[in-house]
Amino acid sequence: MKSVLIHLFAALVLSANAQQPAILNFKTPTPSPEASVIQHFGNSQILLSYGRPLVRGRKIFGELVPFDSLWRTGAGDCTTLEFKEDVIVGDKKIPPGKYSLFTIPSEKEWTIILNSDATLHGAFGYDAQKDIYRFKVKSIKTERFHETFTVEINDFTARGDASLNLIWENTLVRIPLKSPADENIMTEIQKRLIENKEQNANLLYQAASYYHTTGRDLKQAAQWISAAEKLDGENFNYPNLAQKILADLKEYKLAIEAAKRAVALGEKGNMTNAVANLKTRIADWKSLMGKQ
């Protein structure tokens, strides 16, 4: 009898449990995924960390993110930027360190704020006395709709310029960034080549190449690469750069002569592809000169 009662009790318990709703135990996707970006910039890196909220059918700027009020510029913890070397933000040189990024959006322009406290959750505990730099930039309306808030470092130039872009909904804000590398290189060139007039073939080549790449004085670049070639007539790179600079100056006759010198050195070094490309350029320039 006792055994029957035990089995009956167990059956009743199982029946009761079967009628209880199952407990859901799964992790839902976060509504504002966190992002960390490491971007090489200048001679170092910028580390960016922020939360990425979604629009989810809401009106963002002017409603969810009120105009003329401090915004954490993301979601979750405060958005942070870590510089490993000096970076020029806007027009101010910011020393290496970790900073929080806050903004005050308005309809036509935003106030950008770098603050020394990078430990905050959102804007809670924000202290304006810890601001190290405030400045304003224009906001841009975009045709494309951006569902996810995005912070990116983009729009790079050969001189080390870029922009920190804030993108959400139909709004784009570009924050100018500049590496000190260009200023340092130009200072070195000024001191060693222009003032001290050093006669070093590799230095002359590097300076000519940098002027060419960054769109500076091409006549000066042509003089430097010519001097480098006179110091070392067996380096393929020197006449090869010379033909590029001279072509950009539209000095096609001189470009052809430089390219022929590069071809001769390239053939010695079995540089098949480079030689073929140079011969094509020579033919193109001769054809162009014939039409003038």
pLDDT at 291: 64
Q: Judging by DSSP bridges, how do beta strands 87-89 and 109-115 pair with one another?
A: unpaired
How much is the pTM?
A: 0.80
Do the Cβ atoms of 78 and 214 come closer than 8 Å?
no
Position 157 scores a pLDDT of 94
Per-residue pLDDT of the chain (292 residues; tens, 9 = 90+): 545 445 544 555 455 555 556 666 667 777 788 999 999 998 889 999 999 999 999 999 999 999 999 999 999 999 999 999 999 999 999 999 999 999 999 999 999 999 999 999 988 999 999 999 999 999 999 999 999 999 999 999 999 999 999 999 999 999 999 999 999 999 999 999 999 999 999 999 999 999 999 999 999 999 999 999 999 999 999 999 999 999 999 999 999 999 999 999 999 999 999 999 999 999 999 988 876 5
Residue 50: name the closest of 100, 16, 6 by CA: 100
Q: What is the 3-state secondary structure (H, E, C) of the chain?
A: CHHHHHHHHHHHHHHHHHHCCCCCCCCCCCCCCEEEEEEEECCEEEEEEEECCECCCCCCECCCECCCCCECCCCCCCEEEEECCCEEECCEEECCEEEEEEEECCCCEEEEEEECCCCCCCCCCCCHHHEEEEEEEEEEEEEEEEEEEEEEEECCCCCCEEEEEEEEEEEEEEEEEECCHHHHHHHHHHHHHHHCCCCCHHHHHHHHHHHHHCCCCHHHHHHHHHHHHHHCCCCCHHHHHHHHHHHHCCCHHHHHHHHHHHHHHHHHCCCHHHHHHHHHHHHHHHHHHHHC
Question: Looking at residue 167, what is its pLDDT?
Answer: 98
C-alpha–C-alpha distance, residues 71 and 81, integer Å: 16
Map out the domains of the chain with their CATH numbers: 34-178 (no CATH), 181-291 (1.25.40.10)
